[in-house]
Amino acid sequence: MDTTPRDLWLRDYGDPHAAPVAAALAAFDVDPAHGLTDEEAERRLALVGPNALKSKKRVSLLHVLFEQFISPVVALLGLAAGVSVAAGKVEESFAIIAVLVINTVIGFATELRATRSMEALRAIGVVNTRVRRGGRTAEIPAQSVVPGDIVLLEAGDVLTADLRIIDAHNLSANESALTGESEPVSKTAASVAANASLADRRSLAFKGTEIVRGGGIGLVIATGERSELGKISKLVETAKAERSPLEKQLDKLAGELIWVTLVLAFLIGATGVLMGRDPYLMIEAAIALAVAAIPEGLPIVATMALARGMLRMAQRNALIERLATVETLGATTLICTDKTGTLTENRMTVTNIVTAEGSIDFDHAAGAFFVEGAPVDVGERDLLREALIAAALCNTAELGRGGESDTGDPLEIALLRAAKAGGVTRDEMLTRRALLKSAPFDAEIKMMATAHAHGGHVEFYVKGAPEVVIARAAAVMTPDGAAPLTDDMRIHWRRQAAELAQGGLRMLAVARKCTASEDEPPFEGLELLALFALLDPPREDVREAIAACHHAGVRIVMITGDHAATAKTIASQIGLASEDASVIEGENLKTSDAMSPEERQRAIEADIFARVSPAQKLDLVKIYQEAGDVVAMTGDGVNDAPALRKADIGVAMGLRGTQIAREAAAMVLRDDAFSTIVVAIREGRVILRNIQRFVAYLLSCNLSEVLIVSIAIVSGLALPLLPLQILFLNLVTDVFPAFALGAGAGDAGVLDRPPRDPSKPIITRSLWRQIVFHGLLITGATLGAMEIAAAVFHVRGEEVLTISFLTLAFAQLWNVFNMRDPRSPMLRNDVTRNPYIWSMLALCTGLLLIAVYTPSLARILMLTPPTASEWGLILAMSFAPVIVGQAAKEIVRVNFMRRRRKRIKEDSR
């Protein structure tokens, strides 16, 4: 049998945390500068298998089928079949068993579809790992990581395998998920004692833990179930499936209605027996009513509606991580959004470079530099060349080669492209100025640095926010060398940065300093080299998306780390705020506890926050929530994770976001676009409205059946429905219409309404009134048809049963049209535009005609083919509830439109 690299390690070198870095690399036969070749990686993947933990087993068909037989409906149908056999009605008992089988098949198909939809959702998210393969940096799926891979680490990464640290720069990891240690643990390439505990193995980093600070390089030593996390995961093979509050609410409602229905069915049956009715018939009628009235399909149809809606959102680039998020989306009142990449395209290009010699234009398309329209030779501009060297070296991105994609942050890629156009490439510079260490970008201080060996000394290159770099600089590079940076010169440089930022450009400063040791603090005593201005245009669809949010009652607040002038200009361009809108900068923003009531109100009313730290983002979320808002917060960095968790909906960026941010979020935007948030809010509202619709439909139909039979029994009338007829209706008019209503795409005006109040239940008082109203309409129409048939057409027996049965069936089918929003037009609304509704009506009508005109089925159901005049009565009375229902909705709509026009007229004054 082949020996895995991990087995070789254990045999030859013992504990990986105790062995030197060189020994680790030798054991796994890999050069850290080159990494594994693709061929070798494939061989090792075939040897050790995918890098994955044992996931929750796929739900089997047998399990889903078994679940169908432990429902109360199956027990009741079994009891009904037993009663029929005891009464000597063998044919009827077989018919009930057939209903049981059909009910089970429908339930099986529905639950299987919902289950597979949820499994498909879980399979959408793909985690990538940045590795070095064949001398190039590549992002590969985590499942493809193999022992011996060289992994590049930076703050925000969630580790996908166990690593031996071979290089570390201020590297710390959050290992609380594995060891319980709440504080970040510093990591080092130095070996530790062989008997060190798991928490003390500082030379190792573990799968499932998070890099919270610094950067480094790691060697993969264990993947999948061989990792430390994998060993633990074997103890817990499965986890209970998540249930959203909405599903729990529907579960509770269904459970309560089951008991209410059983009590009512018992009372109805007992009343019939006491009034001298056939005991067997009354028992069967009571059981049939219970079967028809129990809304056991509510939770599963809700799950299917949620799953379908979430899949629709995933297809529109919004990946929902938690079911509860769907409900919250419909109630969102405030979106706190970043600027870069969310409101803008995140396709940056350098437009200007400002040195002590003046401003130099850069034409990205031509790859050339200009001063007042005249071409510039970079070789003759020492200050420009030094600025480009700084931009290339203080950088972690890589330009693609031979058709490969660029990797890294778009801002850093733009800097590399500008440097390359000036004849400066990062790879070439690194051969002359070897990288000694780096200090990754820190959101708190808004700078990053790299240290390089050059000419017997160490050169630090720094880039960051202009105001911070200028404040830390002691000198400025001029054509005559370094000159002291006076206060007047600082003001001059800040003014230049602000003027460019007012044009919507993103600003960055670069600096350097020479020292004798790499241990010197990198951000003190800097020599300012240049300012870089970068263009990141607004997304084309963002203005329309923001207008849609405002129309939907959702407020937008920009919270960015960028320059105040840049933020204000972009906000004005996209319609988020007016040109004279005030901007609150982070340095002027107190903590929520230190704010006065006036300062808190000013913060609540502000539309733009600039130069804001992650801690301040968290504070702002708290302030908005205390003010009563339901907050959606976007974020992409490791330090954004607390704010993402605190927000009602944390929204992480799928393209540029760190893994920590994605795992903290409730929703991930796979395209990083703000418009996708708007799509998700719309879909969230549509899903909730669909669920309310099919709940109202099911309960109003069930209520009508209970009322029809109970009124007939109490009044001493002949039964308008027989047990088997009730069961048949339960299959035809309950299941298919509910599915169709749950699959609706929503009406065009779904964003014209204010957000839903999250404190209200899914079935509001208004909805209960609609359920009772429509249930009474159907009841009245059915009993009315029965009385007219007896009094006018003088029919008796099976003919009356047929008329009442078909009137009720068609009245329930037409009832779907009463489920439209009262504010939508009668003929053009989300129900009439739903193709599933018309397919359902055609199918159900066909099934009803088959029941009437198929002799064997008609005999079992005790139906007779109606005459033309009887069909006229059936259709007229079945349409009566929808006509009355639509008239009531039109009254509501007219009143709504009148109030709306009045409000618009008053606002225009």
Q: Annotated catalytic sites, by residue?
A: 338
* 3-state class (DSSP) for residue 219: strand
The 8 Å CB, 24+ separation contacts for 426-435 are 426/392, 426/393, 426/395, 426/398, 426/399, 429/389, 429/392, 429/393, 430/393, 433/393, 433/459, 435/393
Contact criterion met (CB below 8 Å) for 870 and 799: yes
Q: Which two tokens stand for residue 671?
A: 């395209």
Give burial (CB, 10 Å; 0-12/13-18/19+) of 623. Answer: middle
Cα–Cα distance measured from residue 883 to residue 221, given in angstroms and rounded to the nearest whole number: 72
Q: Which two tokens stand for residue 315?
A: 């297809």
Helix (H) or strand (E) holding 416: helix 410-421
Is-contact 352 359, C-beta < 8 A?
yes
Alpha helices in 152-236 (DSSP H): 176-179, 228-233
Contact status, residue 51 vs residue 148, Cβ threshold 8 Å: no
The token pair at 488 is 């007047």
Distant-in-sequence contacts of 663-667, Cβ < 8 A, 24+ apart: 663/158, 664/635, 664/640, 665/321, 665/635, 666/320, 666/321, 666/322, 666/324, 666/325, 666/328, 667/318, 667/319, 667/320, 667/321, 667/325, 667/329
Distance from C-alpha of 491 to C-alpha of 493, rounded to nearest angstrom: 6
Task: Find the angle CA(369)-CA(374)-CA(380) to the nearest 5 degrees.
Answer: 60
Contacts of 335 (CB under 8 A, 6+ apart): 549, 554, 555, 556, 557, 631, 632, 633, 634, 677
Contact 507, 563 (CB under 8 A): yes
Question: Would you state the structure tokens that stand for residue 453, as one six-digit string?
Answer: 């060996």
Cβ(24)–Cβ(221) below 8 Å: yes
CA separation, residue 440 to residues 69, 84, 172, 213 (Å): 59, 78, 12, 8
328's tokens:
């919250």
Q: Give the span between the Cα atoms of 496 and 354, in whole angstroms.
A: 8
> Which residues lie below 8 Å from residue 550, measured CB to CB, with a gap of 6+?
556
Cβ atoms of 126 and 668 within 8 Å: the answer is no
